[in-house]
Structure 1
Amino acid sequence: MAIKITGTGSYIPDVVEKNEDFHQHEFLNTDGSSINHPNEIIVKKFKAITGIGERRYASEHLTSSDLGFFAAEKAIADAGIDPETLDYIIVAHNFGDVKHNTIQSDILPCLASRVKHSLRIKNPKCVAYDILFGCPGWIEGVIQAQAFIKAGMAKRCLVVGSETLSRVVDIHDRDSMIYSDGAGATIIEATEGDDGVLAHETASYTYDEAYYLHFGKSNNQTLCPDTKYIKMDGRKIYEFALTNVPQAMKNCLDKSGVAIQDVKKIFIHQANEKMDEAILARFYKLYNIDIPEDIMPMSIQKLGNSSVATVPTLFDLVKNNKLENQSLTKGDVIIFASVGAGMHINAIVYKY
């Protein structure tokens, strides 16, 4: 029995926010003091580090569960299945539905229930639940889905990653330029063959690292201190990722029994272009071989960091030949990997 991704879908919002759109922002240091550089310089340095030139924001009338529903519809159509046959719907997110111009997260009911409702699924035995696992949420959802299938508890699952990070950012924080909105979805099911999920790896580092990403007050000291926004310690996250993600990827690959030379694509969470490139370099250094050309697709330059949505969206784009110089062929061995709030790391070795 193989446990495979039989359908994919993604939703990329229409609203494009370019780097130049941040030239009029009032960026402040964490203590509220002014930054002694013009915004043009701040934005230029940001682009050089992250690789992000623009990002996507959801339309004002849409929420994260709406985006997840749109991606799910596409994945279901791509797989050619009856949604009533789904055993589980797993939705990964971080902040629930945050309506435009509000500050309150809404997760009652959970987003998976909302997606199931929007899909008009009547079957009560289709179980819908959310997973809060930081940016690695979609990958962890796939790991859970394959575990359900392997245990005989399910035959077919829908795993969605959806987020509207643009609604929980502090506009006075330079890091706000990183975040974006979007959704990706996949159908996971049992089929015949020797392909699909070959191995997986997950780890949670919480002793010293739990709060590298957290909710905190605005850099603007005049705003209400009780209103919280996504905050991060970028340097610590960068060092943490470089230390731990390549090793987790190696552990997963070694477990799968696949040789490093046989890996055709690596889909890493689109958090920061330089960080992802450094992770890739460190990973190949563990095997003492050179990095193959075009092995790591990237979407962050145009789509920004949409957290749980980055990996499934990127996979959907490559699978459907919508990313230049990137494609997949049946039998290709690929790696999915992510790192994020918690701090969590995970990876999957998958035969396409």
Structure 2
Amino acid sequence: MTSKITGVGNYIPSETITRLFFDNHIFLNEQGVLLKDDNAAITSKLQKITGIEERRYANSTQVTSDLGLIAAQAAIENSGVDPETLDYIIFAHNFGDVRFGTIQSDAVPSLASRVKHLLKIRNNFCVAYDVLFGCPGWLEGVIQANAFIRSGIAKKCLVIGAETLSRVVDVHDRDSMIYADGAGAVVLEANADDDSGIKSHLSASHTLNEKDFLFFGKSYNNESCPDTKYIKMDGRKIYEFALVNVPDAMKKCLDSSGYSINELNKIIIHQANEKMDEAIVDRFYQLYDVPTPENIMPMVISKLGNSSVATIPTLLTMILNDELELHNIKKGDVVLFASVGAGMNINALVYKF
């Protein structure tokens, strides 16, 4: 028995945010001092480091659960399942529903419960709950759904990843330009018909010294918003942590799957930072002492930004819908998924299509 993806869906918000959006921002450092470079230089430098040219924001009427619902509906339609037959709805996010122009998070009832309600599912034994696991949350939700299916507790699960990071950023922090909004979802079903499905997975939480590499902190503008907190990160420490730990986790996961490095067809990694992701994959292949293949790692961060838990299911949907020119996944392909984020958490998963 394996867990097989039978449906995918995503929602990419229509509001495109270019570097011009940040022209009038006042960027400060941690001490509240104005940055030396002008905004054009700041945005250009960030683009070179992260690869982000544009990002997508939800419109002012939408919240995270709205985005998740649209992705969920697409995945359900793609799978052909009856929503009433779903055993679990697992919704990965980190900040709940934050309405436009506000700072308060609304996460009760759970976003999974909200989506189940909006899907009009009457089955009380369809269990709906949320996962808070940083950016690796959606992949962790898939791992949990797989455990339910493998144990016989469930036969069909809907796993959603959605976030509106644009609502929790400090406009005075240049890192705010990294973050974006979006949603993705998959339907997982029990599979005993062929050898496709989840082959191995690995999860880890590094908390002893790394817990606060990503955190909620005060604005760099202490005068205008002294009490409000926003998403903050120590970019250098995260970069160094990821390059040391993520390739090793990917290798352990692939090795436990029974597949060799030469049998790997694609790596779908959390779209956090283009340069960092490229370095992670290069180090992963160095562990096997083989060169990194061309087109092994699809990237869409340049146009979509970092939407946290939504990046992997969004990208997977785009590939399976033939929306990326240089990338496709066909039957029999072996794909390695990997993510890293707040916690600091890491996970990886090997899947055969």
Q: TM-score, normalised by structure 2?
A: 0.99
Which residue is equivalent to 1:240?
241
Which residue is equivalent to 1:216?
217
Which residue is equivalent to 2:96?
96
Which residue is equivalent to 1:226?
227
Shift of 1:19: 1.4
| SS class of match (2:189) | strand
Contact 2:2/2:150 (<8 A) preserved: no
- Partner AA of 1:194 in structure 2: D
**1:120-269 matches, cutoff 5 A:** 120-191=120-191, 192-269=193-270
| SS class of match (1:125) | coil
Shift of 1:20: 2.1
Which residue is equivalent to 2:329?
328
The RMSD of aligned alpha carbons is 0.6
Contact 1:31/1:221 (<8 A) preserved: no
Shift of 1:22: 1.0
Shift of 1:244: 0.3
Partners of 1:170 and 1:230 lie apart in 2 by 7
**1:40-79 matches, cutoff 5 A:** 40-79=40-79
Greater Cα offset, 55-64 or 188-197: 188-197
Identity percentage of aligned residues? 63
Paired residues in the alignment total: 352
Unaligned runs of 5+ in 2: none
- Partner AA of 2:270 in structure 1: H
- Pairing 1:295–2:296 present: yes
Partners of 1:117 and 1:6 lie apart in 2 by 22
Contact 2:197/2:352 (<8 A) preserved: yes
Shift of 1:200: 0.1
- Partner AA of 1:159 in structure 2: V
- Partner AA of 1:210 in structure 2: K
Partners of 1:252 and 1:325 lie apart in 2 by 26
- Partner AA of 1:76 in structure 2: I
Greater Cα offset, 321-330 or 205-214: 321-330
| SS class of match (1:74) | helix
Partners of 1:204 and 1:223 lie apart in 2 by 36
- Partner AA of 1:305 in structure 2: N
Which residue is equivalent to 1:110?
110
| SS class of match (1:52) | coil
1:60-99 per-position Cα deviation (integer Å, ceiling 9, x unaligned): 0010000000000000000001000000000000000000
